[in-house]
């Protein structure tokens, strides 16, 4: 009796009161949600702020942070603050798009592979093959093959993440498909879509959500790495990876060019990872407090 | 009496082993071996036997949750084992199931009314208004108050959940309900209520039950006919009353003797079985029960006893039946 009750702890948190109470016990989660929300707000309002990432001012290049330029200027005199703020858009946008694409593709593949035995072998061997290629190599190869562009970058970063998501979902489905309530759904005449979407998917939503936050964070780092290597966002776009790549050459005389986007990326990735950890703890009945 | 469900030579074998790339030795387990029976409209056939004798596998094969290795199931004259895809899905409305664990068989995220309405929606029975009326009627029929329609399963008691499971099984007006240990997980007091409910429902709707149980006390209460299974095969089949009054197979006699007496005065010397159930992967030669049988003779080691009638509707698979009857 204890086991089924415990697995329902997710559903137990369906009243607003218990959700609020649970959140109050997790200040770190709230702080990190606040940080991510602040970055998201910045990304949304930055087009309306009086900051331009593209204005060149060669006379005022490589200036250290000051009252006028809080983050300093880069080697062609562009405002590091303006570029860091605009970079938020790229990082969050890529992260969100990759998380969404990975979840959609990974959940679909995982559900089908886990439930339909005949598809399992084929789908999961393809996933294994994708997993065997290092993520960055695969992304660089795709970008080199098709050419850099927002869609290509998102797809290139998503590809290596999809197998992990598919595996997570498949593992859950393999357990769930044997449970009595899923068999009952079959006996009650449920179509494949009903069984997968109505009876199985809600029970794997927790792990999927957690996995999606990790993908979100990993995607932002991967985007920065790709830009840093020159295989990502075009160099004229203000992305954190591009800024760090350019700042690397001036690290000894103007460290602020590299440091500020790096700090922004670190804080955002850390916050999202902490959210993922906290979500995992909250959704895991074993560690429920 | 019209037959609604007929099993003919149902067999399920599982292959074990094979090892590394199929290089190891393979063993075949006959979980269910050539089982045949019929159930008439509005009748209850109980399948009894100890754990691992294959009774649950029979239920699963009839519901097409497991594919039989051989044999067929005829549902209202139609070969249910041959149906595929959409045809199979639609025909499932004629054979439903009541589960052992009422907590596990209900989707924890659906309300009671949604759970009962699910077969109606899936089988496209009635219009939305008709479905709502049917759900209310089913709640009345299984003794659940309509105020519980919006509740989630975890807010219902064990007995209420089982009533909900029965309401769901009845929703599509099936001809047969497979009840696999349907009361085994319930308290004794609730067990009696649920058994009464199952009997009342049968009287009202004419549904037939395949009732799978290990508990002869429960079976005695609800069965019209009883099939006793041992190691994947039926060893005796008889009308319920006759089976308890004149059990012919030594295994049946041992099972009946193991029912606890209702009063210490009625305690008698137990003819308890000795030994272990042999592995289904290495069945003994001849009669599968001979190793534990008090009456085993030479013929039992060489020939598998066929089912033969010893009275109208009473069949037994034992070489030494007459010996028993003289002794009994």
User: What is the distance between the alpha carbons of residues B62 and B79, in angstroms, rounded to a whole number?
Assistant: 11
Distances (CA, A) of B320 to B21, B76, B290, B296, B305: 46, 36, 11, 8, 9
Nearest CA in chain B to A200: B107
Min distance B2 CA to chain A CA atoms (Å)? 24
Is residue A45 in some structural domain?
Answer: no
Q: pTM for this one?
A: 0.82
Q: Among residues A124, A121, A103, A109, which one has the least CA distance to residue A216?
A: A103
* CATH code: domain of residue A228: 1.10.3720.10
Q: How far apart are the CA of B107 and the nearest CA of chain A, in angstroms?
A: 6
Query: According to DSSP H, which parts of B64-127 are helical?
Result: 85-91, 112-122
Pairing, β B233-239 against β B208-213: unpaired
The two tokens of residue B272 are 């308890």
Residue with tokens 């009635």: B126
Nearest to A239 by CA among A270, A261, A210, A215: A261
Distance CA A226, CA A150 (A): 12
| Contact across the interface for B92 and A187, Cβ inside 8 Å | yes
Q: Is residue A7 in a domain?
A: no
Of A189, A198, A202, the CB nearest to B89: A189
Is A149 domain-assigned? yes
Contact B154 A202 (CB under 8 A): no
Q: Do A1 and B108 touch (CB under 8 A)?
A: no
Assess if residue A46 is contained within a domain: no
Pseudo-torsion of CA B214, B218, B221, B224, nearest 10°?
-20
Residue A81 lies in a domain: yes
A2: Cα separation from own chain's centroid = 35
Residue at A183 is within a domain: yes
Give yes or no for residue B169 having a pLDDT over 50.
Answer: yes
Give the model's pLDDT for residue A6.
39
The three state secondary structure string of A170-203 is HHHHHHHCCCHHHHHHHHCCCCHHHHHHHHHHHH
Token pair of A285 as six digits: 């009945």
Question: What ipTM, to 2 d.p.?
Answer: 0.84
Burial B243-264 (b: 16+ CB within 10 A, else e): bbebbbbbbbbbbbeeeeeeee
Radius of gyration, alpha carbons of chain A: 22
By the 8 A CB rule, do B1 and B43 touch? yes
**Residue tagged 């039989």 (tokens):** B68
Which residue is listed with tokens 């109505």?
A198
pLDDT class of B319 with cuts at 50, 70, 90: confident
Q: Above 60 in pLDDT, residue B157?
A: yes
Residues 6+ apart with CB under 8 A from B175: B4, B5, B41, B75, B76, B94, B95, B207, B208
pLDDT, average across residues B178-207: 92
Which residues fall within 8 angstroms of residue B35, CB to CB, at 6 or more apart? B7, B9, B10, B11, B54, B58, B71, B229, B232, B233, B234
Measured CA to CA, the distance from residue B242 to residue A26 in angstroms comes to: 66
Report CB contact under 8 Å: A184, B99: yes
Q: Which H or E element spans position B212?
A: strand B208-213
**Residue A4 host element (H or E):** helix A2-7
Highest mean pLDDT: which range of A113-117, A147-151, B15-19, B269-273: A113-117
The reported pLDDT for the residue numbered B21 is 66
- Return the pLDDT at B18: 63
CB contact under 8 A, B154 and A11: yes
Q: A184 and B172 in contact by Cβ < 8 A? A: no
Structural element, H or E, at residue A233: none
Residue of B nearest to A201 (CA): B109
Mutate to test the interface with B, among A9, A180, A198 (most CBs of B within 10 A): A180
Closest residue in B to A188 (Cα) is B119
b/e per residue A102-120 (b: at least 16 CB within 10 A): bbebbbbbbbbbbbeeeeb
User: Which pLDDT score, from 0 to 100, does residue B322 have?
Assistant: 64
Residue B181: name the closest of B141, B209, B204, B149 by CA: B209
Q: What is the pLDDT of residues B195-245, one digit of tens each?
A: 999 999 999 999 999 999 988 888 989 999 999 999 989 999 999 999 998
Taking the CA atoms of A80, A86, A88 and A92 in sequence, report the sign of the dihedral they define.
negative
Question: Collapsing DSSP states into helix, strand and coil, what is residue B324?
Answer: helix
Task: Give the structural domain span for A227.
Answer: 69-287
The rounded distance, in Å, linking the Cα atoms of A269 and A213 is 10
Contacts of A186 in chain B (CB under 8 A): 65, 92
Q: Helices in chain B by DSSP H: which ranges?
A: 55-62, 85-91, 112-122, 128-141, 158-171, 188-205, 216-222, 240-245, 250-257, 298-302, 321-327
Rg (CA), chain B: 21
How is residue B203 written in tokens? 């009287």
Q: What would the two tokens of residue A267 be?
A: 């804080």
The CA distance from A193 to A116, in Å, is 12
Place of tokens 């830009």: A227
SS3 content of chain B, % helix, strand, coil (to 5): 40, 25, 40
In a domain, residue A51? The reply is: no
* Helix (H) or strand (E) segment spanning residue A254: none
CA distance B5 to B74: 6
pLDDT at A7: 40
Determine the 3-state secondary structure of A123 from DSSP: helix
Q: Using an 8 Å Cβ cutoff, are A132 and A219 in contact?
A: no
A4 contact residues in B (CB cutoff 8 A): 103-104, 108
- Only one residue has tokens 């929606």, namely B121
What's the pLDDT score for residue A158?
92
Measured between CB atoms, does B109 come within 8 Å of chain A? Answer: yes
Euclidean distance between the first and the last CA atom of chain A, given in angstroms as a whole number: 19
**CA angle, B167 as apex, B162 and B169 as ends, to 5°?**
95
The verdict on residue A6 lying in a domain is no
Comparing alpha-carbon positions, the chain A residue that sits nearest to B62 is A187
Q: Does B89 touch chain A (CB under 8 A)?
A: yes
How many domains are contained in chain A? Answer: 1
pLDDT per position in chain A (289 positions), as tens? 333 433 444 444 445 566 777 777 888 999 999 999 999 999 999 999 888 888 888 888 888 899 888 999 998 999 999 999 999 999 899 999 999 999 999 999 999 999 998 899 999 999 999 988 888 888 888 888 888 788 888 998 999 899 999 999 999 999 999 899 999 999 999 999 999 999 999 989 889 999 999 999 999 999 889 888 888 888 888 889 889 989 989 999 999 999 999 999 999 999 999 999 888 888 765 554 4
DSSP class of residue B201?
Answer: H
């Amino acid at each position: 009796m204890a086991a089924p009750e415990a697995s329902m702890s997710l559903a137990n948190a369906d009243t607003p009161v218990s959700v609020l109470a649970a959140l109050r016990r997790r200040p770190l989660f709230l702080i990190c949600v606040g940080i991510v929300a602040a970055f998201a707000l910045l990304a949304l309002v930055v087009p309306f702020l009086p900051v331009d990432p593209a204005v060149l001012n060669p006379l005022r290049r490589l200036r250290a942070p000051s009252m006028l330029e809080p983050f300093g200027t880069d080697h062609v005199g562009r405002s590091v603050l303006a570029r860091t703020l605009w970079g938020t858009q790229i990082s969050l946008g890529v992260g969100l798009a990759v998380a969404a694409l990975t979840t959609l593709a990974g959940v679909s593949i995982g559900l089908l592979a886990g439930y339909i035995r005949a598809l399992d072998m084929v789908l999961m061997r393809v996933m294994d093959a994708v997993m065997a290629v290092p993520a960055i190599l695969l992304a660089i190869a795709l970008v080199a093959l098709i050419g850099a562009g927002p869609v290509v970058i998102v797809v290139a970063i998503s590809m290596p993440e999809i197998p992990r998501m598919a595996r997570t979902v498949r593992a859950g489905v393999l357990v769930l498909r044997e449970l009595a309530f899923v068999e009952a759904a079959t006996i009650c005449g449920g179509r494949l879509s009903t069984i997968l979407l109505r009876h199985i998917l809600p029970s794997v939503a927790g792990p999927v959500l957690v996995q999606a936050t990790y993908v979100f964070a990993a995607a932002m780092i991967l985007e920065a790495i790709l830009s840093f290597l020159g295989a990502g966002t075009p160099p004229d776009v203000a992305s954190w990876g591009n800024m760090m790549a350019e700042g690397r050459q001036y690290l000894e005389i103007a460290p602020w060019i590299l440091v500020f986007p790096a700090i922004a990326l670190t804080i955002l990735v850390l916050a999202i990872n902490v959210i993922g950890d906290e979500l995992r703890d909250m959704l895991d009945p074993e560690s429920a407090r | 009496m019209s037959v609604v469900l007929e099993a003919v030579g149902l067999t399920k074998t599982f292959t074990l082993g094979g090892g590394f790339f199929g290089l190891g030795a393979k063993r075949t387990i006959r979980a269910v071996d050539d089982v045949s029976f019929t159930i008439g409209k509005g009748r209850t056939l109980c399948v009894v036997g100890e754990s691992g004798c294959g009774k649950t596998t029979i239920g699963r094969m009839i519901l097409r949750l497991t594919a039989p290795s051989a044999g067929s199931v005829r549902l209202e004259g139609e070969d249910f084992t041959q149906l595929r895809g959409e045809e199979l899905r639609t025909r499932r409305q004629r054979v439903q199931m009541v589960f052992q664990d009422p907590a596990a068989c209900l989707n924890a995220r659906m309300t009671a009314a949604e759970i009962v309405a699910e077969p109606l929606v899936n089988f496209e029975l009635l219009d939305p208004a008709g479905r709502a009326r049917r759900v209310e009627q089913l709640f009345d029929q299984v003794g659940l108050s309509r105020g519980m329609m919006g509740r989630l399963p975890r807010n219902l008691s064990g007995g209420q959940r089982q009533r909900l499971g029965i309401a769901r099984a009845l929703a599509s007006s099936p001809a047969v309900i497979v009840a696999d240990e349907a009361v085994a997980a319930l308290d004794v007091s609730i067990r009696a209520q649920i058994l009464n409910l199952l009997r009342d429902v049968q009287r009202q709707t004419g549904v037939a039950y395949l009732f799978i149980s290990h508990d002869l006390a429960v079976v005695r209460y609800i069965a019209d006919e009883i099939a006793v299974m041992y190691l994947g095969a039926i060893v005796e089949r008889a009308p319920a009353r006759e089976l308890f009054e004149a059990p012919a197979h030594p295994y049946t006699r041992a099972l009946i003797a193991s029912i606890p007496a209702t009063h210490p005065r009625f305690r008698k010397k137990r003819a308890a079985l000795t030994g272990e159930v042999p592995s289904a992967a290495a069945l003994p030669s001849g009669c599968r029960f001979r190793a534990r049988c008090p009456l085993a003779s030479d013929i039992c080691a060489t020939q598998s006893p066929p089912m033969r009638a010893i009275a109208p509707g009473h069949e037994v698979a034992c070489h030494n039946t007459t010996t028993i009857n003289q002794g009994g």
